[in-house]
Structure 1
Amino acid sequence: MTFAVGEEVTAGRVLRRAVRRHRKRLALGVFWLSLHQATEAAVPVTIGIFVDRAVSTGRLEPLVWCVVMMVGLFAVLSTAWRTGARHGVRSAEYEMHQLRLEVAQRVLDPRGHRTGMRAGELLSVATSDAEKAALVLRALAIGIAASTALAVSSVVLLLIDVPLGVGVLVGVPLLVVGIQALSPLLTRRTSDQQESVASTTALATDLVSGLRALRGIGAQHNAAERYRRSSQATLQATLKAASTNGLQDGVTMAASGLLLAAVAGVAGWFALNGRISIGELITVVGLAQFVAEPVSTLGYVSQVLAMAKASAGRLASVLGSAPLRVTGSAVSVDPSAPLLELSEVRHKSLDGVSLAVRRGELVGVLCYDPRDADALLAVVSGRAPEHEGTVAVGGLAMEELDIDLLRRSVLVEQHDTDLFEGTLRSNLLAGSEADEGRLREVVVAAAATDVIDAHADGLDHPLTDRGRTLSGGQRQRLGLARALLAEPPVLVLHDPSTAVDAVTEEVLAEGLVEARAVPSLGTLVLTSSPALLGKMHRVVVLADGVVVAVGTHAELASEDAAYAEAVLR
């Protein structure tokens, strides 16, 4: 029972679905918790009977029966609470787990997503918001149980004295409605708090990942100040939400206390006038005191529902987000067509770019403006569905290809390489299979042999998250080796050698040619490296978003002054 990608999803739908898919477990939880509340309400009734029929009469038999009744009540009360709480917690935990899986599945969808959220924000949605939204199940269970307690108490009070019962039946709903009046404000402030927390989490994630670069340019103090401001904004949002919570708690406690005092006072007056017995007075006072607990519970339920609604709204924005990349159903391409072809593409700074990568060809692209390179990467990776013009893979528009075929056909290796916790081997394989010989081949082609040979355990050397124990150049070369091992028909590289020295760069360029210059493969390299451009079959030069020159590196370096200045400086 999952939402389809791009389906309209609201906070209400997320919460209603949670109830539907756990309805059996939720029903059991409601039954046992309601039984617990009913037996707890029966305790003061039993004590009242005990006083009227055993204490006031001095008879032994009623006393024994009352003791047996109390033992039975507390046995049922304890069992019902444990069983009901277990079902409630289980349903909430299972829903939380399912929500986290759905968010992860949506985020990892190869078609991408249009949430606009950063990694830290998505992490907050998958953890904190999933947890709070799942609490709707727990809130419903204890809310219905609290309502059962109020119903049982009201019926008993009606049986004892109608005006007392009517007073409770009128007073409690008014009290609950008054508590609910604060719910919209609480929902709004809770939503603001969760958005602020997610934003601060995302900022912290970005700063930690870029800490080395920030230190390199001396910007760590500015970054710390930016985080301090974001953290202070989060603190203010949290305090506002907490103050609203506190106000609701205070109103709930004060109102339930006044209700208790009113009921107890009226019952005492009736007892003095002989309208009710002493045992009934004890029952009424006990029930009035007990009623404060379910009323307080309903106030807590109101808070939880407000938080769950706010979190469900954020979950809905992720689960209902449209795919970034539109795909079709074609499962094969034209073997005679260019592997990759752009025709009159316009996107951001690009203004009618046309280029092609044919089989067996390595094409270099030099962009005088880095914005052109970013826009071109976005287009060929499918992250720019709003572009104009055509991007074809094997003669078919990218939008017509089945997503699995598209993923197998085009691989974009970004400048910033992602490595994961594990070993060098697991990072290179990335779920695929290859023998030791093949792994060594791609490592040599990527000039990464020194990374492997530097460790006694070689490819089995452990890596920390993001490969933080490696240098930038080592991470770059491992990323290139992983891309070469995948052997996609179209490989797009973005500055694969910016963090290595000139000698290593030359070795890397030669290895790239050896690995990719085969008839079935095509490679597009966005770079300004003369070592790499010199190995390309053709170089395309972009300036101001248009193609201004095409030729070999040697031709362009000797005939184009702007090219020579950009590459050979």
Structure 2
Amino acid sequence: MPVRPPAPLTAARLLRRTLRRHRGRLTGGVALLSLHQAAEAAVPLAIGLIVEQAVATGELSALVGSVVGLAALFTVLTFAWRFGARLTEAAIHSETHRLRVEVAARALDPRGHRTGLRSGELLAIAAADAERTALIIRASTVAVAALAALAVASAVLLTIDVALGLGVLLGVPALVAALQALAPVVTRRTAAQQAAAGATTALATDLVTGLRALRGLGAVDNAARRYRDSSRHTLAVTLRATTMSGLYQGITAGASGLFLAAVAGVAGWMAIRGRISIGEFITVVGLAQFVAEPVRALGFCGQLAAAVWASAGRVARVLTAPPAVLPGQRTPARPARVRLALAGVSYRSLRDVDLRLHAGELLAVVAHEPRDAEALLDLLRGRVPADDHRGTVTVDAVPVSDLSIDALRTQVLVEPHDTALFEGTLRSNLLVHSGDPDPDPDPGVGVARPAGQVSADAVSAEADPVLAAAITAACADDIVGLHPGGLDHPVTDRGASLSGGQRQRIGLARALVADPPILVLHDPTTAVDAATEQRLAAGLRAARHGHDRPDDPAAPATLVVTSSPTLLAQADRVLVLAAGQVVGSGSHHDLARTDETYRAAVLR
């Protein structure tokens, strides 16, 4: 019998899953909060009984017993609320954490995602929408507890007078149903407010990330105007949503007040006519005042459910987004002499590109147009689905689309031009690629690591030869030696505490520490001075290709996308891309002597 695929995750299914995942705490929380509300509803009844059986009769023993009973009632309702609320809050925070982890895992999935959302919007969903979605737990427990309170109050009222009890039983559902007519409007405006806030957050993230570039281009004023317009739009949408929310609350409070006034008026008329006693009248008035709380709670739950539904839809959109790339399961059987190859590849601006990177080779690529370089780097990162390009991209004779994610990461490391550093220390940033992903479960048994994978323990000392050699090759000695903390010098988020040249050198040193079989670099020297660039180019050559291993298919290979003549001079071969096509190949010196366009592009 064929297995049916799982149903797509919608907002409704996500909310049901949330409730199922915490059914233990939810059951306990609902039971205790319902007990609390039932005890609250019993307070007016207890007061009415005390008036009739103790105050009116003047019996001391009845009064003492009544006070003790009332104290016990308040003890029950207090502890029931305390522990019920604790269970509910624990479930809410636990679910918030789990949803945030799920959204973050989807956003960081190496296969990518087709959400169409920017980083700032994903951040807003992981932070705000995940927390708001978990509030379905609070809405559910509060709603059930409110219904329990109304059930107890209605039962007492039915006992006192059937007509009065039926009035409450029929009037409250009608009131709640009428109030729910506004819920779709609240949902739509809340969803619009969340989307606008996410877009503004995304824009703010983009502007902060590119602030230095904006300053360099003199575009800060234009960027500020864009953010101001987006912020004003978000403010307007938020005010509309808040206005609707306030209107909803106001109508809820007003309608419930009128309803309760009617109940109290009818009870007073019955007391005057002698249909109910004074104690029953006190009970009815007390219950009439109390019923306002569960009615308002039901209104709050309706309003909260509208916001929860909108957030759940945004979270479900992220969690159900298909991956951008579907990787394979293969791993290269052995290193090939051609470590990396593009055969007839057309993608975006690229047209029928052929490229071969041999074992032990340092290949440079000069792209006259930045878009050609970006398209090439996206292909090498494995971010492009096989259906989105023509031709084949292979690593060690295996198509990239057939490689597993782990195999591709082990074989190819692409160090981007915009070096991404993380908050921590110089050491933690240098070792970000070099941790052992599969720790040995038995410390007594040695496990051979792939080339370039160095455990964090192995580089804990300042004098570690692998780390020291990488730092020297990347000309990062002065960065480490400049600070008293050395490798333990703190680095702020995105490396903001370092200059552009320092970030580039730390990024290159990090790539050299990882020592991947295939290293791809994109403009690694644009922010350093000429003297440093000369030393860095020589250091890169020595670190990656200092040992002459022409017949070793496992020799590391390096591809550098650059227009730096210093780096080009160190390359074994230079490939020239123009208008998306390969238009030249040879050594840097030969191309500079024979190709005028090449010479004009790189010898500035």
- Under TM normalisation by the shorter chain, which class is it? over 0.9
User: Which residue of 485, 493, 498 corresponds with 1:470?
Assistant: 498
Q: CA deviation at 1:334?
A: 4.1
**Match of residue 383 from structure 1:** 383
Conserved 8 A contact 2:364-2:561: yes
Match runs of 1:187-198 below 5 Å: 187-198=187-198
1:314 aligns with 2:314: yes
Match runs of 1:321-470 below 5 Å: 321-385=321-385, 386-430=388-432, 432=435, 433=455, 434-435=458-459, 436-470=464-498
Structure 1 unaligned runs (5+)?
none
Q: What is the TM-score with the length of structure 1 in the denominator? A: 0.96
**Match of residue 531 from structure 1:** 566
Match runs of 1:230-309 below 5 Å: 230-309=230-309
AA paired with 1:231?
Answer: S
SS at match of 1:534: helix
Conserved 8 A contact 1:333-1:395: no
AA paired with 2:427?
Answer: R
1:507 aligns with 2:535: yes
Q: CA deviation at 1:7?
A: 8.2
Q: CA deviation at 1:74?
A: 0.4
**Match of residue 556 from structure 2:** 521
SS at match of 2:291: helix
Match runs of 1:109-120 below 5 Å: 109-120=109-120
User: Which residue of 480, 497, 520 corresponds with 1:492?
Assistant: 520
1:69 aligns with 2:69: yes
Size of the aligned set, in residue pairs, is 565
**Match of residue 163 from structure 1:** 163
Identical columns (%): 57
SS at match of 2:338: coil
Deviates more, 1:116-125 or 1:155-164: 116-125
SS at match of 1:456: coil
Counterpart-to-counterpart distance in 2, 1:513 and 1:495:
15
AA paired with 1:114?
Answer: R
Counterpart-to-counterpart distance in 2, 1:542 and 1:500:
25
Counterpart-to-counterpart distance in 2, 1:259 and 1:343:
78
SS at match of 1:339: strand
Counterpart-to-counterpart distance in 1, 2:7 and 2:395:
28
Counterpart-to-counterpart distance in 2, 1:284 and 1:354:
87
Counterpart-to-counterpart distance in 1, 2:181 and 2:344:
58
Q: CA deviation at 1:6?
A: 11
AA paired with 1:390?
Answer: T
AA paired with 1:128?
Answer: A
AA paired with 2:592?
Answer: A
Q: CA deviation at 1:112?
A: 2.2
**Match of residue 444 from structure 2:** none
**Match of residue 578 from structure 2:** 543
Q: CA deviation at 1:389?
A: 1.9
Counterpart-to-counterpart distance in 2, 1:170 and 1:7:
38
**Match of residue 452 from structure 2:** none
Conserved 8 A contact 2:332-2:397: no
AA paired with 1:110?
Answer: P
Conserved 8 A contact 1:345-1:388: yes
Deviates more, 1:517-526 or 1:464-473: 517-526
Q: CA deviation at 1:522?
A: 1.2
Conserved 8 A contact 2:345-2:351: yes
Q: CA deviation at 1:70?
A: 0.9
**Match of residue 137 from structure 2:** 137
AA paired with 2:300?
Answer: Y
Conserved 8 A contact 1:7-1:322: no
Structure 2 unaligned runs (5+)?
436-454
C-alpha RMSD of matched pairs (Å):
1.6
Q: CA deviation at 1:139?
A: 1.3
Conserved 8 A contact 2:332-2:398: no
Counterpart-to-counterpart distance in 2, 1:306 and 1:456:
55
What whole-Å deviation, never above 9, does each CA across 1:115-169 have from its counterpart, x for those lacking one? 2322222221111111111111111111110011011111111111111111111
Q: CA deviation at 1:477?
A: 0.8
Conserved 8 A contact 1:6-1:323: no
Q: What is the TM-score with the length of structure 2 in the denominator? A: 0.91
SS at match of 2:351: strand
Kindly tell me: are residues 401 and 55 of structure 1, through their superposed partners in 2, closer, same or farther at Cα, counting changes over 3 Å? same
SS at match of 1:308: helix
Match runs of 1:213-224 below 5 Å: 213-224=213-224
Counterpart-to-counterpart distance in 2, 1:308 and 1:387:
41
SS at match of 1:68: helix
What whole-Å deviation, never above 9, does each CA across 1:355-377 have from its counterpart, x for those lacking one? 11111111111111111111111
Counterpart-to-counterpart distance in 1, 2:114 and 2:510:
28
Q: CA deviation at 1:418?
A: 0.8
AA paired with 2:579?
Answer: D
Counterpart-to-counterpart distance in 1, 2:411 and 2:322:
23
